[in-house]
Chains A and B, each alone.
Chain A
Amino acid sequence: MSFDRLPLPEKVVIPSDLKAALQTEERILEAVAEAGYSREAQFAIRLALEEALVNAHKHGNRGDSTRSITITYDVDPSRVVIRVRDEGEGFQPRNVPDPTAPDRLSVPCGRGIMLMRAYVDDLQYNRQGNEVQLIKNNSR
C-alpha cells in the first residue's frame, strides 16, 4: 500500500513536547477502543504511535519544543490510519541499521522503526522522510 495523500478527517497540531504527545496518544487510543478494536490491536496501535511520536520529537524536531508535530488520523471500525509529521529535514528509513544485527544488539537505541513495522499492517514514510503513516486493520 502506498503513502497516499488522501486527507484524513482528524487533525491535531501540538508543540513538540512529550506531555502533549501523550495527551494526543490517549485521545486517539480512546477513539480506537470506542471503535471496537481488541486489546491486542490497542496494544499494537499504542506502541506504534508512541514510537512515531517519540521519533518525531527526538529525531525529527531534535527535541525543540518551538517546533510542531502534526498528527492526522482516521479511526473507523475497519481500520485505523495515523500520520505523524515533524518539522525536521527527514531521513531515509532504509539507512537505519538493523537493531537485531549481532553487533547492534546491545546498542540502547534504534528499535522504534522495527517495532512499528512489527505492530502495524502497513508503515510508510513520505518521500522526504518527515512523515510516517501507520495503518492497522481491525481483524476481528
Chain B
Amino acid sequence: MPEAEAEAKLTVSTEDGVTIVEFENRKILDELTINQIFEKLNELADTEKVPMILLNFRKVEHLSSAALGALITLSRKVSRRNGRLVLANIHPQIYEVFKITRLNRVFEITGTTQEGKRAFQ
C-alpha cells in the first residue's frame, strides 16, 4: 500500500511566552497536508497579540515549494503583528531547499531547538 499521511499533526507547547510547534508529519508536500497544517498555524498566530513562534522541523524529511509558500504567508502574518517566527532543527537536505530558493535569507533559521528558544531571549 502506498504510504500516506492523511492527517496533519502538530505538537504545540508554550515556554517563556514562545509558542513551540513541532511538525509531526515527515512529509509536508501535498496541498491537503499543507492546508491542514497552516490553517492550524495561522490560527495560532491569530490568537497571540504579538505571536512568537518557534517551528521545530526535527521530524520533517520532505518539503515542497507549496509548503515554502505557506511558510512565507505565515511569516508575513507574524511580521504584520510585530511578532517573530524562527525555524529550527532543519534536516540538511531540507535546508538545501531553503538555500536553493534563497529563503535561508528570508527566514530566521537556527540549528537546534535550544538555539531557537535563545533567539527569543
**Residues in chain A within 8 A of chain B (CB atoms):** 18-19, 21-23, 26-27, 30, 40, 43, 46-47, 50-51, 54, 58, 99-100, 105-112, 114-115, 118
Q: A18-B32, A107-B72 are in contact. Are A23 and B2 (CB under 8 A)?
A: yes
Cβ of B36 within 8 Å of any chain A Cβ, yes or no, is: no
CA distance A43 to B30 in the complex (A): 15
The reply to whether B100 and A54 contact each other, CB–CB distance below 8 Å, is no
The reply to whether B72 and A26 contact each other, CB–CB distance below 8 Å, is no
30 contacts between A and B (CB under 8 A): A18-B30, A18-B32, A19-B32, A22-B4, A22-B30, A23-B4, A27-B2, A43-B61, A43-B62, A46-B29, A46-B62, A47-B62, A50-B30, A50-B62, A50-B64, A51-B65, A54-B64, A54-B66, A58-B31, A105-B102, A105-B103, A106-B106, A108-B72, A108-B73, A109-B69, A111-B68, A111-B69, A114-B65, A114-B100, A115-B100
Please give, as numbers and ranges, the residues of chain A lying within 8 Å of B73 by CB-CB distance. 108
Please give, as numbers and ranges, the residues of chain B lying within 8 Å of A100 by CB-CB distance. 101-102
Task: Taking A50-B62, A100-B102 as given, write out 15 further A-B residue pairs in contact, using a Cβ cutoff of 8 Å, ordered by the A residue number.
Answer: A18-B31, A22-B2, A22-B4, A26-B2, A47-B97, A51-B65, A54-B30, A58-B31, A105-B105, A107-B72, A108-B68, A108-B70, A112-B64, A114-B101, A115-B64
Chain A at the B interface: mostly helix, strand, loop or mixed? Answer: helix
* Nearest Cβ on chain B to A40's Cβ, whole angstroms: 7
CA distance A114 to B101 in the complex (A): 8
* Nearest Cβ on chain A to B69's Cβ, whole angstroms: 4
The reply to whether A118 and B100 contact each other, CB–CB distance below 8 Å, is yes
**Residues in chain B within 8 A of chain A (CB atoms):** 2-4, 29-32, 61-62, 64-66, 68-70, 72-73, 76, 93, 97, 100-103, 105-106
- Report the number of A-B residue pairs with Cβ-Cβ less than 8 Å: 71
The reply to whether A26 and B3 contact each other, CB–CB distance below 8 Å, is yes
The reply to whether A111 and B65 contact each other, CB–CB distance below 8 Å, is yes
